[in-house]
Chains A and B, each alone.
Chain A
Amino acid sequence: MKKIIVEGLKYKYPLSDTLALADLSFEVSEGEFIGIIGENSAGKSTLCQALVGLVPHFYKGAYGGKVFVDGLEVKSHSIAEIALKVGMVFQNPFTQVTGSKMSVYEEIAFGLENIGLPRLEIIERTNYVLNLLKIEKVKDHNPFDLSGGQMQRMAIASIIAMKPDILVLDEPTSQLDPAGSEEVFSAIQKLSKQGITVILAEHKMEKVARYCDRVLLLNNGKSVDFDSPEKVFSRKDLEDHGVVAPVYTRVCKALGVKMAASDYYPVTLEDAERALRGRME
């Protein structure tokens, strides 16, 4: 089943002369883990926001084409309705703190109170996400007293608690150290394995290569490629689009080592190791 269908999406921010998204079309199946890559201002964040309805409902501006998420047309439904299907985590964890709750625990429950879940369900889900993102220790702290990384995990937890079918993450690990972002990625992968569709805009290419099923490469609001990480990162014109391939791919490219029985370079550490060992033998 197609979870997300984007048909000829065009969007221009108010007061801007250029299209932020220019004629995008793609489809995503249920349970897929999709990475969105591209240089800054390529349209990654705008596309993420178009999937939850912030584009066009929050910003207004000129909008064309169609976006369906889980069968709902984004343009004709309110953000609150879409929010039940699609959860979105933003880049800046600081501004995702509501400011109306005194503890991390209450903060995570905020969204669940808004959508009117019964009390016991709220408690159960809140405890589950605290555990999933490993922030039980700080559950009684004030949200503003957390470190950047803890705040980011809290932001992710708050959205996951709402149990969306589709999870949209806009650079969710920008404030995290390598160990912390690894933890967050494995939590997201766990959800992905449970059947949640994940859309991830990210600059850490090694993570994209490792976790994503397919990668959407954007440049100037246009879709350049939408394919498996191996195919996208093996493109010769990758750097013209402002993207640097994962370090493993670059090493193998320099050495001219392709994956066994394929025309593409390896993109993860394991594949690169296998390919290089294969050549040595």
Chain B
Amino acid sequence: MKSISLYVERDSFIHEVDPITKMIYILFALLIPIILPSFTISFLCLGISLLLLVMAKVIRKTVPVFSFVFLVLITVVIIQGLFKPENETVLFQMGPLAMYKEGLLYALTITLRVMNIVSSFMILVLTTKPSDLVEALVRKGMSPRIGYVIVSVFQIIPEMMSSMGTITDAQRARGMETEGNVIVRIKAFVPLLGPVILGSLINTKERAMALEVRGFNSRAPKTYLYEEKTYTHGRLVQSVMLLLVVGAIVWRIFA
């Protein structure tokens, strides 16, 4: 079945780490550059995240995500470089437009922050199964209903897309034009919506009933088929990160 999750199955120690530690890492990678706003620290954090992605053997899967992010960031660089109010020092001239140093430095800060957030999120998303992540959160006290909604989206959306494919094929078999210019395609899309939307509403009702009879709303404390996934050094890694954050705050205040 086609999956919409970005998870990549690989054999690496990053995959072994429990989801909670990875989530704490995201917070860590986010906080440190805010507490210590220097380029060295930001570069260091980004470097660590990228290194972890390489070690998890998923760095190639980040390319499409990063290229999309770069597209957005380029506009930031151009706009800040040209128009930031504090711009004074002209760095170079492109015809009538001048790029300023202050704006470019500010754009670099934003770029680093964004890259930092994106790469630390990628560690979580690419190396953790969505179901593992949600199970870890439910164990930590998140409502199982919210957990269900999150996980089921990953399966039910592809199912809806495939039922849409079936309906398209059926209508094409009855002679409907589905290929050609934009107008033809839009016309072909409209009659799809009825069956797909009504069908999924009916399915949702039936699925809700099936969940009810399987004790979904049971008040009994939930148990789990699998034992909690724990990483041997999870606690250690989490404590080190916490210490580093505290250290960074102390450094910021006293140095």
- Interface residues in chain A, defined as those with a beta carbon under 8 Å from any beta carbon in chain B: 49, 52, 54, 58, 78-80, 83-84, 86-88, 90, 92, 94-102, 105-106, 109-119, 122-123, 126, 142, 144-145, 155, 158-159, 162
Once the chains are docked, how many angstroms separate the CA of A110 from the CA of B155?
15
Select one of A54, A83, A118 contacting B215, CB under 8 A.
Answer: A83
The contact string, 1 if C-beta is below 8 Å from chain A, for chain B 140-179, is 0000100110011001100100000000000000000000
Q: Chain B interface residue count: which class?
A: 20 to 34
Q: Which residue of B lies closest to A114 (CB)?
A: B215
Selected interface stretch from B64-72, B204-212, B241-249: B204-212
| A80→B215 contact, CB < 8 A | yes
Q: Is B131 an interface residue (CB 8 A)?
A: yes
Q: How far, in angstroms, from A54 to B213 measured CA to CA in the complex? A: 8
Q: How many angstroms from the CA of A111 to the CA of B222 in the assembled complex?
A: 10
Shortest distance in angstroms between B133's beta carbon and chain A's nearest beta carbon? 13
Give the complex CA separation of A101 and B155 in angstroms: 9
Give the distance to chain B from A169, nearest Cβ to Cβ, in Å: 12
12 pairs across A/B with beta carbons < 8 Å? A54-B213, A58-B209, A80-B212, A86-B213, A94-B203, A96-B207, A99-B155, A99-B156, A102-B155, A114-B214, A114-B218, A116-B220
CB closest residue in chain B, given A121: B223
Q: A95-B206, A100-B152, A119-B225 are in contact. Are A84 and B159 (CB under 8 A)?
A: no
B210 and A79 within 8 A (CB):
no
What is the interface of chain B, defined by CB distance below 8 A to chain A?
1, 129, 131, 144, 147-148, 151-152, 155-156, 159, 203, 206-225, 227
Q: Which residues of B contact A83 (CB under 8 A)?
A: 212-215, 218
| Contacts A90-B209, A100-B152 given; does A79 touch B217 at CB 8 Å | yes
* B131 neighbours in A (Cβ, 8 Å): 100-102
B225 touches A52 (CB 8 A): no
Within the complex, the shortest CB–CB distance from A142 to chain B, in Å, comes to 5
Q: Once the chains bind, are A162 and B223 in contact (CB under 8 Å)?
A: no
| B225 touching A99, Cβ below 8 Å | no
Contact B220 A115 (CB under 8 A): yes
A158 near B223: Cβ-Cβ < 8 Å: no
A114-B218, A116-B218 in contact; A96/B225 too (CB < 8 A)?
Answer: no
Closest chain B residue, CB of each to CB of A122 = B225
Q: Which residues in B have their C-beta under 8 angstroms from that of A49?
A: 209
- The CA-CA distance from A35 to B151 in the complex, in Å, is 38
* Contact in complex: B213, A88 (CB < 8 Å): yes
